[in-house]
Structure 1
């Protein structure tokens, strides 16, 4: 993981833990560069990530302020890691439904930009928050990029495994959100009725070199998950 990603992750944890709530702003770039023993350019890149993800905003000549937004129970669409807020990560658990190696079909190969028949890991999980099912997940991983994925890893943060253990550089993500009706199977997994409404999130997560590392789909419990996103004015 790049240094500025590590710093942004640490700062997010500190912000969520309330370390800077009393003063309402972060230390200066100079103070942060001394604290993390790194260059101001690296700190600036980390702050830019925090800005894009909606945690802080910068006031020229005044400082880096915490965003006055409190969506602690909501899913932040700006975040690549996981798909849950800090609070939800602390109270979440995962049930692995299946993990197997399958050949890429023509449809999946087109989505992953890989060869038909290439071996993929196919993973299905249910995520729980406060012991309640909130999300049914299915995802595909190219074994050429992720050479090993076991059930012991699937019960935890795969993002951390990819970035910390495999040292993959995650670059960006695309997400498409739409409403749909629950199938009987997904309804049972979420404790709902067949044909109840659901939010469906399809996502592609890319490495910094443009390769797709995860192709996934999440079926969200419509009563237990809300979404939010931050927007910036680039004019």
Structure 2
């Protein structure tokens, strides 16, 4: 639907550094012209944003930014749970699948295992303040982490690795690319199949530079935005 596309475009604008809470949005006429839609379509999109608490409309005064969806700035590696809690938000996870698999070539390479070695596979839908923002698929060696359970994966994976297993997470390699969601993924993240999302491959490593996990993350950037600060190396 056209109005849903306008909703997502307005979300991106509202959640960008361009606006702060309390700022006034352009008029309905200006927004309708900007996005080349009718006033009725625009009003439907604004009504949706008002219903979810992002904006407040006052007759005769205009439309104001009431809230912004999740944003965080990172200068070091934090887990999803830590990122949310640091911003005063409530993180939760819905475990969609947890099973033992034989490592494919891709997973074996990511974990430095042999093809066919046993690995734990978990598929989790991640929420911030009850809004679905990310789907995670993750693999860990079943030999290295034999006691990993459903209970662990419903909480913080990093907490299990560091606190329960005593493994120090030294850092994480990340590869990021834009993509479009499959119909299943669009349904889970409440986006259109034509909306761009971020696909990220990650490989966490320990202090001996050995892989800990290999993950693929799909992030709804309309709801979840993270800014990275990368310091410049100087001799």
TM-score by length of 2: 0.65
- For residues 75 and 105 of structure 1, the distance between their equivalents in structure 2, rounded to whole angstroms, comes to 34
Structure 1: give runs of 5+ residues left out of the alignment. Answer: 1-70
- For residues 201 and 185 of structure 1, the distance between their equivalents in structure 2, rounded to whole angstroms, comes to 18
CA contact (8 A) 1:177 1:202 kept: yes
- For residues 199 and 77 of structure 1, the distance between their equivalents in structure 2, rounded to whole angstroms, comes to 17
- For residues 145 and 217 of structure 1, the distance between their equivalents in structure 2, rounded to whole angstroms, comes to 20
CA contact (8 A) 1:122 1:141 kept: yes
3-state SS of 1:226 partner: strand
Following superposition, the deviation at residue 117 of structure 1 comes to 0.9
Greater shift, 213-222 or 71-80, is seen at 71-80
Q: Please tell me whether residue 110 in structure 1 is matched to residue 109 in structure 2.
A: yes
Structure 2 residue aligned with 1:185? 184
Deviation per residue, 1:162-187 (Å, 9 max, x gap): 10111011111111111110111110
Which of the two has higher C-alpha Rg? 2
Structure 1 residue aligned with 2:93? 94
How many residue pairs get aligned? The number is 165
CA contact (8 A) 1:76 1:85 kept: no
Structure 2: give runs of 5+ residues left out of the alignment. Answer: 1-67
Q: 1:144 to 1:88 in 2, by over 3 A?
A: farther
Structure 2 residue aligned with 1:198? 197
Structure 2 residue aligned with 1:215? 214
Structure 1 residue aligned with 2:126? 127
Deviation per residue, 1:96-154 (Å, 9 max, x gap): 00000000112221222111111000000001111110000000000122112211111
Q: How does 1:1-235 map to 2 (within 5 A)?
A: 73-83=70-80, 84-87=83-86, 90-235=89-234
Q: 1:88 to 1:182 in 2, by over 3 A?
A: farther
Question: What is the root-mean-square deviation in Å for CA atoms of aligned residues?
Answer: 2.0
Following superposition, the deviation at residue 87 of structure 1 comes to 4.0
- For residues 189 and 172 of structure 1, the distance between their equivalents in structure 2, rounded to whole angstroms, comes to 29
3-state SS of 1:234 partner: coil
Q: 1:233 to 1:214 in 2, by over 3 A?
A: same
- For residues 73 and 99 of structure 2, the distance between their equivalents in structure 1, rounded to whole angstroms, comes to 29
CA contact (8 A) 1:102 1:119 kept: yes
- For residues 77 and 117 of structure 1, the distance between their equivalents in structure 2, rounded to whole angstroms, comes to 36
